[in-house]
Chain A
Amino acid sequence: MPLVSCKNLTLSYESEVAVQHLCIDIESGDYLCVVGENGTGKSTLIKGILGLMRPKSGEIVYGDVNRKEIGYLPQQSAIQRDFPASVWEVVLSGCIGKHGIFNVTYSKEDKERASKNMKIMGISDLKKRSYRELSGGQQQRVLLARALCATTKLLLLDEPVTGLDPLATAELYSLIKKLNREENITVVMVSHDVSCALHDSNKVLHMGSNGAVLFFGESDEYRESSISARFLRCDCACHGRGEHNHV
């Protein structure tokens, strides 16, 4: 049984259709890369899977994962960038989903989990630092550690490398790859940065205007296809990353 399965899913904002008749299965262990131009419903699909939006028609069926146990790395907002919070406070807040309404404090297990995830992300030494003083790459790693506190199975990443420099981008990609391969976490990543993203993913969903599906299948197939040709050609910002990554 797939981990998450979208069955003829249509999502819309009031009158505007963002995702149309989408049928995809996300299997456990997948690294799915969702690509497409701006305004093609990529982020909307993520919100749909998270349950932040109700489907207009069709349905999303969850397999061996509770909807509330999905780790989410949202696009950063202006509010967060300059938010007075310590790294520890932010990471720990990933555990909040398991709390009942009158659960006032974090448990020992919560704290252990937060510490463990900070270690995986290589940010243990930033624990007491203020979130707003960190670099863009460090902030994303903090948010990724927070997302890991909420899940052990499925991560949804919305444009995780936007605004990062090439080195920080490469680092974040290799961390995400590590989570997918070593921690066996299923990854769904929305990205503009197609050629880089394709490098690690095993499946691709390419969305077109009005949320129509242009391609869904294996990454290797996608690379050969005519749809990817136009998209990949204009995307040369981080060629050579592959070599860099294997050093």
Chain B
Amino acid sequence: MYENVQELLRFIGQPWPWYVGGGMIAVVLFILLFLGKEFGISANFRTMCAANGAGDMASFFKFDYQSQAWNLMVALGAVFGGYFAAQALHPEMLSNISPETVETLNSLGLEYEYGKVPLVLKEAYSWEGFFTLRGAIMVLLSGFLVGFGARYAGGCTSGHAISGISNLQWPSLLAVVGFFTGGLIMINFIFPYILKL
């Protein structure tokens, strides 16, 4: 029995190919629709603001946020899922990115070696990295833009790119065009300068 569990954990713990990852996201979308809910993670930021009393300061945060408790539970579950995967499934998960991407990183002065790239950029997402100007900008400015932009656009990757496009909503397609426009501007024209700070 114990060996079977070990075997199963080892099997699930392999890095998943894209079609398994995408398929499982569709499973999540299906379960939420089956439960009568729409998949959209960034709505939680609004709920958290409202739960902290932001309703007194802007009408945008005056809504029945307790009706959104289910979505906070999804976010909490995602924290647990991350913990479980990192502890029990694959502690040393790597980013199996292409050799070209590693070359691009090296050309920007980010020293990473092909086949040994971790999950997050240590220059920003470690405490040493965060307490540098560029690290702090990468964490705080990007978080701010993600939170601001997601609500302005009415959704993020899950709400627009997955839920919205699955429902053939052209506003969601437009939002995704925006996501990629912003992303390409950042990665090509702004990010190289932030790295030099």
A and B associate in one complex: no
